[in-house]
Amino acid sequence: PVNVVECEASVAPKGEKRSSKTAEADKKRKLDGLTKDSPMRLRMEAFNKRLQAEITAELERLDGQGKFAVDQWNRAEGGNGISMVMQDGKVFEKAGVGVSVVYGMLPPAAVAQMRAQHPNIAVTKESMPFFATGISCVIHPHNPNAPTVHFNYRYFELGSSEGGEPVSWWFGGGCDLTPTILYEEDAVHFHQVIKDACDKHDPRYYRDFKKWCDEYFFIPHRGERRGVGGIFFDDLDDKSPEELFAYVQSCGNAFLKQYIPIMEKRKDMPFTQDDKMWQQVRRGRYVEFNLVYDRGTKFGLLTPGARIESILMTMPLTARWEYMHEPDLKAHARLMEVLRVPKDWVPL
Amino acid sequence: PVNVVECEASVAPKGEKRSSKTAEADKKRKLDGLTKDSPMRLRMEAFNKRLQAEITAELERLDGQGKFAVDQWNRAEGGNGISMVMQDGKVFEKAGVGVSVVYGMLPPAAVAQMRAQHPNIAVTKESMPFFATGISCVIHPHNPNAPTVHFNYRYFELGSSEGGEPVSWWFGGGCDLTPTILYEEDAVHFHQVIKDACDKHDPRYYRDFKKWCDEYFFIPHRGERRGVGGIFFDDLDDKSPEELFAYVQSCGNAFLKQYIPIMEKRKDMPFTQDDKMWQQVRRGRYVEFNLVYDRGTKFGLLTPGARIESILMTMPLTARWEYMHEPDLKAHARLMEVLRVPKDWVPL
């Protein structure tokens, strides 16, 4: 299934511009104040926005100089978003954290696709109302010793009506680390923190979602992965919404613990011109993955009226394509090895 | 139809590694020496290689410092290629000129696709032997006043047997100019030279192929074209092979006349840091077009065993993605206008 949230795209058929009844009812609910009994979609939206504020504040603190520019937008069909981007900071070359909330109508072909994973969706020839909210983050530091990182957590509802329960719902998301210069201890730390978050909720989650991540971020034409992985999951509805919301919160809340200690160690390390060039070449690979394979990006680019700047917020500020570039194997043999054959950084 | 040549990809099913009888017979023909009666595929291959030598020599002369690195390769299934790349020259940031020659077997599904444009291809459930040769060139100069340029000319045969004629054949190709800073006189010159070449062969060619080019190089998610166009054609078999080979030679031979005078004027012009940044942002668009929309690139990336370095030879050395970048409209309003609404640079 396509990642409706990450691309912040409108999938509403043309012409349908009226805010849905659910969206209107939800506006009122938010004014009245959220409680533990509020619909899951509103609680996930609130969580995403709180997490975005917390992470951007912490990244600004760490950078010490760069500030996030804030873009807020509203969809006529219902929904809104906040894109926050820091560019050319002291530590961060580019860091984007986006939250989106989308109410819309899903065409029957897309509904049919979702039925494959969610068999309780009835066969229909009609469009169905859907809701999606997600938080998505990509951070590219200046220093080649410091890794790029990405995460995304999202919640999807199909057939949510004004008052009642949705026909179907699920959570998705994940996080992954993309070093230019490999420090194995950083990969171990990144994985250990997210494993701990997973283990609190289900002993199988880390093992299964780590594998899924290694599969998802594969770049076939290079025969290598984008980075050293993390976790990836989609269509998750194997527990109650309450339990899975708790799981996704654990994952989202783990992010700063995963990334900030690594950055503290790496952001001021000395580096050479060769290190910087190698970083630029690896950024080229990042661009290749995002433009050619990433489902969210592809879906977004093909969606008329999608907010392109939010979709491509994930791109590095700079990238480089050298013909027949050969990695310096003295320096990067181990990185290339773990990109080709994924490693279990922590015991499964 | 996919552009088999530009991506220099093998479409032979796995396992089939023996050189075809046609390839073997052609090797002998080349040793005996080519004449006007030699098969078209050998004459087009020879033309491509001569043109490659001529263009790379002239680009080295113009650069005055950079040299082309030469990579030659052979395909076990038959065929060969020469990739020539100059990187970090004085004038050129990256210039690639590649020639490829491919003998292979085309799977029935691909044959069926080609039947749409070439109805004389019989319905079959078998793979068919094919031959393809092409020359492809992309040049990215350092100076933002100097435009990027691309051209590609190619010849395709289906069902070529050891001695006899092919079942079907066609020519394809085109050229297009991608300025960072618009000089309208350069666009006029580029178009006028290729129009003159077209007009010698058919009064409709320039008009039709100019329009096709404007359509092909459109980037839907940006609502703009990659550059100021040129010509684009494919599946061309509306005249005899002899006449169309003459046409394609005229186009290929026009290239240096199209591009070198522009470069002589622009290569040493002064520029600002803003000009350079703008160039890097436009290069980002070039990458977006190539990775997301270009048929040759997409086909190549999806083909197992394709030579990735040759496919991505077209990428700029450097590119940049700024969030919410707004062009300086004082400087670039006119460029943006002609990228959004293509202009007739010379009377049609």
Beta-bridge partner residues of B69:
B85
Q: Are B312 and A321 inside 8 Å of each other by CB?
A: yes
B218 touches chain A (CB under 8 A): no
Whether A323 sits inside 8 A of B96 (CB atoms) is yes
Question: Do the beta carbons of residue B6 and residue B118 sit within 8 Å?
Answer: no
User: In this complex, do B324 and A85 lie within 8 Å of one another by their Cβ atoms?
Assistant: yes
Using a CB-CB distance cutoff of 8 angstroms, which residues of chain A are in contact with residue B98? Answer: none
pLDDT at B296: 85
Closest-approach residue (CA) in chain A for B95: A323
- Tell me how close the Cα of B107 comes to any Cα of chain A, in angstroms: 21
| Residue from the list A292, A311, A313 with its beta carbon closest to the beta carbon of B291 | A292
Could you please report the per-residue DSSP string of B179-240?
-SS--HHHHHHHHHHHHHHHHTT-TTHHHHHHHHHHHHTEETTTTEESSSEEEEEEEE-SS-
* B322 to chain A: closest CA residue: A317
Quote the minimal CA–CA distance from B219 to chain A in Å.
10
Q: Which residue has the tokens 């480089």?
A: A320
Which of A312, A321, A324 lies at the smallest CB-CB distance from B316? A321
What is the Rg, in whole angstroms, of the alpha carbon atoms belonging to chain B? 20
Beta-carbon pairs below 8 A across chains A and B = 87
SS3 (DSSP) at B285: helix
Between chains, do B318 and A320 touch, taking CB under 8 Å as contact?
yes
SS3 B9: coil
What is the distance in angstroms between the Cα of B307 and the nearest Cα belonging to chain A? 9
Is A150 annotated in the active site?
yes
The reported pLDDT for the residue numbered B1 is: 32
pLDDT in tens, A82-126: 999 999 999 999 999 999 998 888 888 888 888 889 998 888 888
| Cα B25-B30-B33 angle, rounded to 5 deg | 130
Which residues 66-125 of A are in CB contact (within 8 Å) with B? Answer: 69, 71, 83, 85, 87, 94, 96
Backbone angle region of A150, left / alpha / beta, with phi > 0 → left and psi within -120 to 50 → alpha: beta
Instruction: Determine the residue among B323, B324, B325, B326 to mutate to test chain A binding: the one whose Cβ has the most chain A Cβ atoms within 10 Å.
Output: B323
Are A317 and B322 a contacting pair at CB < 8 A? yes
Q: Which residues of A touch B287 (CB under 8 A)?
A: 287, 291, 319, 321
Say what the pLDDT of residue A17 is: 57
Q: Which of A142, A150, A189, A201 is catalytic?
A: A150
Phi-psi region of A228 (alpha: psi -120 to 50; beta: other; left: phi over 0): alpha
- Collect the ranges in chain A with pLDDT lower than 50: 1-15
Rounded to a whole number of angstroms, the distance from the CA of B287 to the nearest CA of chain A is 9
Q: Is the CB of A313 less than 8 angstroms away from the CB of B292? A: no
Predicted-complex ipTM score: 0.88
Which of A273, A321, A324, A325 is most worth mutating to test chain B (most B CB atoms within 10 A of its CB)?
A321
- The per-residue pLDDT for A306 is 78
**Chain-centroid distance, C-alpha A226:** 14
Binary contact (B316, A313; C-beta < 8 A): no
**Cβ of B322 and A87 within 8 Å?**
yes
Alpha-carbon dihedral sign for residues A241, A245, A247, A251: positive
* pLDDT tens by residue, chain B, 348 residues: 334 444 333 344 444 556 678 888 899 999 999 999 999 999 999 999 999 999 999 999 999 999 999 999 888 878 899 999 999 999 999 999 999 999 888 888 888 888 889 998 988 888 888 999 999 999 999 999 999 999 999 999 998 766 668 989 999 999 999 999 999 999 999 999 999 999 999 999 999 999 999 999 999 999 999 999 999 999 999 999 999 999 999 999 999 999 999 999 999 999 999 999 999 999 999 999 999 999 889 878 887 777 899 899 999 999 999 999 999 999 999 999 999 999 999 998
Q: Do B324 and A301 touch (CB under 8 A)?
A: no
Minimal Cα–Cα distance from A341 to chain B, Å? 19
pLDDT of A283 reads 98
B221 closest CB neighbour out of A85, A292, A301: A301
Q: What is the DSSP letter of B116?
A: T
Identify the three-state secondary structure at position A219: strand
Whole-number Å distance between alpha carbons of A286 and A276: 15
Contact criterion met (CB < 8 Å) for B87 and A323? yes
CB contact under 8 A, A85 and B306: no
Give how far Cα A10 sits from Cα of A48, A79, A127, Å: 19, 10, 14
Residue labelled with tokens 């008329």? A304
A94, B323: Cβ pair inside 8 Å?
yes
- What pLDDT was estimated at residue A15? 46
Given A71, A313, A323, which is nearest B313 (Cβ)? Answer: A323
Task: Assign residue B33 a region (left: φ > 0; alpha: ψ between -120 and 50; beta: otherwise).
Answer: left
pLDDT at B114: 87
Chain B residues 229-268 with a CB less than 8 Å from chain A = none
Left (φ > 0), alpha (ψ -120 to 50) or beta: where does A88 sit? left
SS (H, E, C) A38-87: CCHHHHHHHHHHHHHHHHHHHHHHHHCCCCCEEEEEECCCCEEEEEEEEE
Name the DSSP letter for residue B78: S
CA distance A196 to A174: 14
pTM for this predicted structure = 0.91
| Mutation for testing the A interface, residue in B321, B322, B325, B326 having most A CBs under 10 Å | B321
Please check whether residue A281 touches B, CB under 8 A: no
pLDDT digits (tens, 9 = 90+) for A242-262: 999 999 999 999 999 999 999
Query: Phi/psi of residue B82, each to 5°?
Result: -130, 115
**Chain B residues with CB-CB distance to A320 below 8 A:** 317-319
Q: How far is B241 from chain A (nearest CA, A)?
A: 35
pLDDT at A127: 87
The rounded Cα B17 to chain-centroid distance in angstroms is 27
Is there a contact between A308 and B222 if contact means CB atoms under 8 Å apart? yes
